[in-house]
Structure 1
Amino acid sequence: MTFRSPFAIPRQLLTGTTSLASRSAINGRLRCNQRGLATVVPPVTQDATGSKGPTAMVFMNMGGPSTTDEVEDFLSRLFADGDLIPLGRLQSYLGPLIARRRTSKIQKQYADIGGGSPIRKWSEYQCAEMCKLLDKMSPETAPHKPYVAFRYAAPLTETMYEQLFADGFGKGKGGRAVAFTQYPQYSCSTTGSSLNELWKWRNRLEGKRANGGSEPAGTIQWSVIDRWPSHSGLVEAFAQNIEAQLKTYPEEKRDEVVLLFSAHSLPMSVVNRGDPYPAEVAATVHAVMQRLKFKNPYRLCWQSQVGPSAWLGAQTSDTVQEYVKRGQTDLILVPIAFTSDHIETLYELDQEVIHEANNPGVKRAESLNGNPVFIQALADIAHDHLQKGELCSRQMTLRCQGCTSERCLGQKKFFAGQEQASMVI
């Protein structure tokens, strides 16, 4: 399989490499407007109008190389992340080696989907459009300034943090920032890894809390939207995309089309540790099917299993092949854990799974991308978070049952805040 999931080490990755060219921080933060053109967003200062504003809204995701030249650096960062791909004491040696060996094959895959991942374009667009809505919905916390922090690709977390400083947040000026995960379903391997990275750079750039729990003066005040698997707006956006694809089948066959919800898989070692991801993905699927009134048969399957160890299944590719063999050739693939198109949808699902099925009845529901229902959902989630004044969800204060990571413990205590830190266990 190809590189497609934050959880998986595709077979190609175990034999190829990529380069994600490091980009220097620029003075003007670029955002994409509706036509996909870059526009410069002016700096925000702490004396701006709004009793609780301005507010930085930071979208967190794994990211993807925008060009084929960025693939090797992207893979190098990915394989250096022990939260995502634990390689033990040899991580610093094996990670770059695997990345170099995988680059050429992964570069070809990105070339096949247009020369790079569209995830940055969509993330910047979604965040900017959400902030426009928030300015109207929550004027007391306005202006809302959009940022993107990717784990393995530009713009990296440290670049985003330096941009916050340049725009008037922190460095003695204070200000509020919301880390908004773009993984709707929480996993320690994705949202957890991104928060670990944010916590690391926050400590490096702004200083650690004192033993008494006090903050250095004028630091950025962070809160976290750490999961939203069954939000009604997210569910509605998925449901509408499924309904649109169902309409492409003859009316008399629509209720017989099988819906295959597909999400990136996890090694069973992570699942057995107590990671909440499988349950939260299942919660999203159930909520979507409730909205669709359970009119169609459906299954949840998982992408990107690699290597000899046990992974969460059944696998999406195997499921499609098996159903087609049995004569069920009307299938709709629904990428249920992704908020925009990237390598897993455009290459793995479209160019591998659907191509190999070799049947016109096997299709894919549109990704969320610029869907206005989805963007309104993002604004509703953020607005609710700002109104409640919460630092994180109660779920985030509970570590996985088998977690032994001191870094995870420290990160959760930080984002939970002084009042809730004692609840982190």
Structure 2
Amino acid sequence: MSAGYDALLLVSFGGPEGQDDVLPFLRNVTAGRGIPDERLEEVAHHYRHFGGVSPINDQNRALKAALEAELAARGIDLPLYWGNRNWSPYLAEAVQQAYDDGHRRLLAIVTSAYSSYSSCRQYREDLAAALETTGLAGEVSIDKVRQYFDHPGFVTPFVEGVRAALGRARAALGNGDVARDAHVLFVTHSIPTSTAVTSGPPGAGLADDGAYGAQHRAVAEVVMAAVESGADVAGDTGGAPWSLVFQSRSGAPTTPWLEPDINDEIRRLAAAGTRAVVIVPLGFVSDHMEVLWDLDEEAMETAREAGVWAERTPTPGVDPAFVAGLVDLVTERTAGAPRPALTALGPWHDVCPAGCCANPRGVRATVAGADEPAPVAGG
């Protein structure tokens, strides 16, 4: 526990909010990789399909408002700022505003639940960079809440979504047997296998895909066990098989990434006789672009072409259980509240161990970790 925080910081990815923003945003995302605009346009059409507007910023506005309401309802007097990695409002702007308002010890809530370089350590690097950019290193300190992949507030919305979708799958199958005819696909963002291996603390003895894969499988097991326990005596939503699949692969074709791809798996299942799939965006906090395009457009089209009934379950978004869970994470750090975890892997670290989720491009300064820390207040 670390008391004395005087403000909170909501940290997210960011997204374009108009057609003119799309390419500049994608240049921010891929900065330093030398990717030409012609290749970026291959991704830009996903955003242009939705008018050049990513839903993520509006979702973060809604989440910020919901968190502020929950904080007020609990009598927690901590202002909440919001900053993004790749688009306005940028992290440096949020940190500067918090400083200008008189705050010096910030606790960050990141809209990413799992451990990997891009979903944890890179945000810690971004926060350290924001302190350097603003010249506030040594004046402002920033910690972050733990990775919350197995916190009940994050998991509960998925349990409810899978149970409801399997009930509808059974009805679509003519009250058929979901254990025989349906399949639950837990999906998350693919990452390079080399990055997956180094996700989590060094030497943790996790699977070949590191903490990233282990955490997702552990949560999927919890969700399915909860669905099973809530099935009625006829087993109307019980017994469905499940698997972990991946989406949004990018990069050179010769670079190995986590597989199988969700579209390939839907086709394989259909060929093997599966008649219904429930698509669960387990790796995502909200319905951002990769959920709307990769799942609601591409995966659903694949299912239609394969002749398979399909439904995508909700992300946590602003579900009251999720919002309350994020505030619970704050009270762990401010008031020593209990630290619940639904898998044997958790609760995860408050302070990331040395070398956790290593940067594949080399060491950079971070906050909220045991190595490469940015200077703290008074340092």
* TM value normalised by structure 2: 0.79
* Cα separation, 2, equivalents of 1:411 and 1:136: 28
AA aligned opposite 1:255: V
For residue 327 of structure 2, what is the aligned residue in structure 1?
379
Residue 286 (structure 1) aligns with: 221
Name the residue aligned to 1:302: 246
Could you tell which deviates more after superposition, 400-409 or 292-301?
400-409
Pair 1:341 & 2:287 matched = yes
Does structure 1 residue 153 correspond to structure 2 residue 87? yes
Q: Give the secondary structure class of the aligned counterpart of 1:396.
A: coil
Note closer, same or farther for the CA distance 1:107–1:416 as it changes in structure 2 (3 Å cut). closer
1:355 to 293, 301, 309: 301
Q: 1:253 aligns with which of 176, 193, 202?
A: 176
Query: Does the 8 Å CA contact 1:58/1:178 hold for their aligned counterparts?
Result: yes
- 2:134 matched residue in structure 1: 205
Measure, in 2, the Cα distance between the counterparts of 1:410 and 1:236: 30
2:73 aligned partner, one-letter code: K
Q: Please tell me whether the aligned partners of residues 22 and 52 of structure 2 are also in contact (alpha carbons under 8 angstroms).
A: no
Give the whole-Å Cα distance in 2 for the aligned partners of 1:187 and 1:319. 24
Cα displacement (A) at 1:338: 0.7
Matches of 1:237 and 1:136, distance apart in 2? 21
| Matched residue type, 2:334 | L
- Give the Cα–Cα distance (whole angstroms) in 2 for the partners of residues 247 and 191 of structure 1: 35
1:118 aligns with 2:52: no
Task: Give yes or no for contact 2:112–2:285 (8 Å, CA) kept in 1.
Answer: yes
Q: Which residue matches 1:311?
A: 257
Identity over aligned pairs, percent = 22
Q: Which amino acid aligns with 1:297?
A: P
Pairs within 5 Å for 1:20-419: 55-80=6-31, 91=33, 94-95=34-35, 97=36, 100-137=37-74, 139=75, 142-169=76-103, 174=104, 176-208=105-137, 216=138, 219-251=139-171, 252-253=175-176, 255-256=178-179, 257-275=182-200, 276-293=211-228, 295-306=239-250, 307-358=253-304, 359=307, 361-388=309-336, 393=349, 396-400=352-356, 405-407=362-364, 412-413=369-370
Which residue number corresponds to residue 13 of structure 1? none
Q: CA RMSD in A?
A: 2.9
Q: Any unmatched runs of 5+ in structure 1?
A: 1-51, 82-90, 209-215, 420-425
- Cα distance in 1 for residues equivalent to 2:133 and 2:191: 31
The structural deviation recorded for 1:374 is 1.8
Does the CA contact (< 8 Å) of 2:116 and 2:212 recur in 1? Answer: yes
Distance (whole Å) between structure 1 residues aligned to residue 18 and residue 358 of structure 2: 39
Task: Find the residue that maps to 1:190 and give its secondary structure.
Answer: helix
Partners of 1:417 and 1:393 in 2: CA distance: 18
Bigger relative contact order, structure 1 or 2 (CA pairs below 8 A, ≥6 apart): 2
Task: Give the direction of change, closer, same or farther, for the CA distance of 1:227–1:402 in structure 2 (3 Å limit).
Answer: closer
